[in-house]
């Protein structure tokens, strides 16, 4: 019997219009009624998750945001990890000559230097207004509060994102978690922050074994948790590499793939 299910949001639980189908909703509710731990685990910030998750899972379920770098449970932050300011400044300088839009997510705030179409796209799914200010001002905030970004998101043309991913991995290999959450989005976190790390943290907290969990996702930032889980499930809309990493491939996010996967194992 599986005791916990970890479900990605965009491209997995959510349809392309960012809604949750009634079929998926009912399937998850059945698991909750059975006492299964159901955790929403997303690259989104908390304020981009909670307006949706509160209608899907009960209030006592933990919620994993920012690719595992910021975890909420019962109105308490139980885990967080940030990129060092040294690495943050290095990344900012390294991408400054590229036509990309970096966004910096720190706890419940997020920052950028300019507001363009890429920023506006993210703002549509984020209830908290982005703070537009020079990077030096943002850096000063972190220095004064002894904090930093839980996640850096670089949005840009997909070919350019591939180039930047290769470049940053060359410079920061073994120091940071760097991977795409979609073709045009590159995500950067601390080595202590990933979806797989978040799952490890939570199952230790709940006394659940690795073989007793299922993880469902659709993209490269989900690969680690898909490979870590007792059963890793890839969506039908996932890239081929993610499907190959999974134990099972379900239907697409627009065709109730999450519900179909849950019916397969419960």
b or e along 176-215 (b: 16 or more beta carbons within 10 Å of the residue's beta carbon)?
Answer: bbbbbbbebbbbbbbeebbbbbbbebbbeeeebeeebbbb
Cα 224 to chain center, whole Å?
A: 12
What Rg, from alpha-carbon coordinates, does the chain have?
A: 18
Q: Which of 8, 10, 222, 256 is catalytic?
A: 8
Q: Are strands 4-7 and 37-41 parallel, antiparallel or unpaired?
A: parallel
Token pair in block for residue 129: 């207004």
Structure tokens at 216: 């469902």
3-state SS string for 129-176 = CCEECCHHHHHHHHHHHCCCCCEEEEECCHHHHHHHHHHHHHHHCCCE
CA–CA dist 68, 200 (Å, integer): 10
Which residues of the chain form beta strands (DSSP E)? 4-7, 37-41, 63-65, 70-73, 76-80, 101-106, 109-112, 131-132, 151-155, 176-182, 185-190, 213-217, 231-234, 248-249
Structure tokens at 259: 């519900």
In the residue annotation, 8 being an active-site residue is answered as yes
Q: What is the β-pairing status of strands 101-106 and 151-155?
A: antiparallel
As annotated, the active-site residues are 8
């Amino acid at each position: 019997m599986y005791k916990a299910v970890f479900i990605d949001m965009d491209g997995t639980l959510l349809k392309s219009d960012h809604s949750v189908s009634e079929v998926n909703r009912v399937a998850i509710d059945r698991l909750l009624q059975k006492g299964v731990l159901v955790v929403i685990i997303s690259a989104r910030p908390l304020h981009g998750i909670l307006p949706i998750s509160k209608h899907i899972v009960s209030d006592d379920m933990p919620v994993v945001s920012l690719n595992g770098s910021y975890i909420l449970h019962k109105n308490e932050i139980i885990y967080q990890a940030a990129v060092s300011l040294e690495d943050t400044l290095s990344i900012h300088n390294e991408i400054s000559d590229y036509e990309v839009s970096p966004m910096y997510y720190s706890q419940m705030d997020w920052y950028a230097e300019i507001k363009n179409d890429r920023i506006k796209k993210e703002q549509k799914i984020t209830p908290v207004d982005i703070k537009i200010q020079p990077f030096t001002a943002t850096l000063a905030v972190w220095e004064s509060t002894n904090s930093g970004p839980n996640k850096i998101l670089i949005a840009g043309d997909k070919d350019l994102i591939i180039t930047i991913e290769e470049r940053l991995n060359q410079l920061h290999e073994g120091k940071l978690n760097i991977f795409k959450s979609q073709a045009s989005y590159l995500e950067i976190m601390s080595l202590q922050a990933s979806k797989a790390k978040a799952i490890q943290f939570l199952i230790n907290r709940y006394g659940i074994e690795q073989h007793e969990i299922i993880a469902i996702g659709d993209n490269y930032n989900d690969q680690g948790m898909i490979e870590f889980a007792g059963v890793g499930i890839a969506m039908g809309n996932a890239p081929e590499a993610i499907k190959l990493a999974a134990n099972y491939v379900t239907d697409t996010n627009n065709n109730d793939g999450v519900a179909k996967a849950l019916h397969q194992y419960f």
